[in-house]
Amino acid sequence: MAPALGLSTAVALLLTSGVFFTAGLSLVKVVKAQGWPELVIQGSGYAVSAVGIGVFIAARGLGLPPRGQRRWVLACGGFMAASLSCLIVAMSAGAPLGDVSALVSMNVVLAALLGRVLLGESLRGVHTISVFCSIAGSLLISRPKIIFGGGAAVGDPDVPSTAWVGYVIAPVGGLLEACTLICARKCRGASEWHIAFALYAEGSLMLWALALLPGMQPQPFARPAAAPAEALGWVAAMTSLDLPSMVLYSVGAMAMPAAMTATVGTANRMIMGFVAEGLLFGTPIHPLTGAGAACMLVGVAIMAFFKGESVVTTAPDAACEAGQPEADVPMDDDVSSVASFAAMEFVGIEAQTRDVRHAVQRLRSRFQRRKAPAKEAIGQQVIGAAGVSGGA
């Protein structure tokens, strides 16, 4: 069981993680500027980290995560790897590091909207303000041609014409990061090393696959094969920054509420991103970019901390607190628990006053072609109705 951390310690870990994270993304820009295939180098660094962490897990005798949490460890690593891949691709397309870090802050807003849609809730006035701030901030940062005229990011002549791709992909990375935060809270019985291993193993495969896509990077393995010693140097440098960043982030995320983790983490990386752009790459902060970043930070704070009624612990979580193994909770209840948790963390509603099971089943049916037998479906409806009447 991972040791419990105080709130101040968890915040300090997230802030330190943000420093390493920004340094790692800055190194990606340097590698690309030197003419190296950054996706291949970063993917190789992830592979080295995965092997090293695997050896460490075996040496420490940590074994596998608890049976009921293995799928959440895999999901947490997958979402985190996909989010980082989006950020790297966004920067490769030409979007500045500070802009990308600011756009990722939409993760809290997007997660809250997802929770509202999942449970059929209407947005309150304060949440509408948060959405407006986030949309306005993203427009001020990206400054699309149709609204502001000229090219993307008007006033920044060094930004390439393909930067708009990065401005589109960065918010997607924010949504994936929100999913990471939710899954991390379901992995409290696992070690942070399990999450880090899942991240690097899945991330290396994602980045290598992206590098091989047509039009991404021509002959991605040619230069590393021609200069292997220099390539190993770049890989070692990236690994020394990525590994501590992800381990610290995983530890902090498991010890803090998801909304607070998103707020502290994104605000820190947003500030560090703009600082790195100014100090390392000499990119001035456009006034509209600064205003947009402020709007997005306000939107994140509103969505994260202005919640509704107090929440009630769901049955699966209560079972875990009572000492019952999570693996004994049925799969449908487990999925419903995560859906409820997402809404509670980012929206703040009482999960027991709504039939979350039916909403989850409707979403799952869209991704599964086969239908459950009619008898089983009727039984689930009866159980769901009994749960609603009992909660009332």
DSSP characters for 21-75? HHHHHHHHHHHHHTT--HHHHHHHHHHHHHHHHHHHHHHHT--SPPGGGHHHHHH
- Residue 35's pLDDT band (boundaries 50, 70, 90)? confident
Mean pLDDT of 78-91: 85
Q: Which two tokens stand for residue 269?
A: 């990386």
Q: Is pLDDT of 256 > 80?
A: no
Q: Who wins on pLDDT, 13 or 249?
A: 13
Within-domain flag for 274: yes
Report pLDDT for 327: 43
pTM comes to: 0.63
Gyration radius from the chain CA atoms: 22
Q: Who wins on pLDDT, 361 or 232?
A: 232
Do 261 and 175 belong to one domain? yes
Domain boundary among 285, 305, 325: 305
Q: Which two tokens stand for residue 328?
A: 């004994």
As a whole-number percent, the residues of the chain with pLDDT over 90 amount to 7
Domain boundary among 305, 340, 357: 305
Do 243 and 365 belong to one domain? no
Q: Is pLDDT of 311 > 60?
A: no
Q: Is pLDDT of 192 > 70?
A: yes
Q: Which two tokens stand for residue 250?
A: 């995983």
Within-domain flag for 310: no
Rounded alpha-carbon distances, angstroms, from residue 93 to 38, 97, 110, 157, 266? 12, 11, 23, 15, 21
Report pLDDT for 387: 46
Within-domain flag for 356: yes
Domain count, the chain: 2
Residue whose C-alpha is closest to residue 288's, from 109, 130, 98, 107: 98
Quote the mean pLDDT of the chain. Answer: 71
Q: Is pLDDT of 43 > 60?
A: yes
Within-domain flag for 156: yes
Within-domain flag for 49: yes
- Residue 189's pLDDT band (boundaries 50, 70, 90)? confident
Q: Who wins on pLDDT, 368 or 332?
A: 368
Q: Is pLDDT of 310 > 50?
A: no
Most confident of 68-82, 280-294, 308-322: 68-82
Report pLDDT for 255: 77
Do 207 and 248 belong to one domain? yes
Structural domain span for residue 230: 7-305
Within-domain flag for 1: no
Report pLDDT for 322: 38
Do 280 and 321 belong to one domain? no
Q: Is pLDDT of 324 > 50?
A: no
- What 8-state DSSP symbol labels residue 329? S
Helices marked H in 347-373 — which ranges? Answer: 356-367
Do 297 and 329 belong to one domain? no
Mean pLDDT of 147-162: 55
Mean pLDDT of 173-188: 76
Assess contact for 207 and 88: CB atoms under 8 A.
yes
Mean pLDDT of 326-346: 44
Do 139 and 120 belong to one domain? yes
80 CB neighbour count, 10 Å cutoff: 28
Q: Is pLDDT of 3 > 70?
A: no
Lowest mean pLDDT among 76-85, 152-161, 324-333: 324-333
Report pLDDT for 64: 87
- Residue 128's pLDDT band (boundaries 50, 70, 90)? confident
Q: Is pLDDT of 392 > 70?
A: no
- Residue 230's pLDDT band (boundaries 50, 70, 90)? very high
CB burial of residue 111 (10 Å; 0-12, 13-18, 19+) = buried
Within-domain flag for 2: no
Do 259 and 327 belong to one domain? no
Instruction: Tell me which H or E stretch contains 304.
Output: helix 287-305
Q: For the segment 259-279, what is each residue's pLDDT rounded down to a tens digit?
A: 677 667 777 777 777 777 777
Domain boundary among 246, 279, 305: 305
- Residue 389's pLDDT band (boundaries 50, 70, 90)? very low
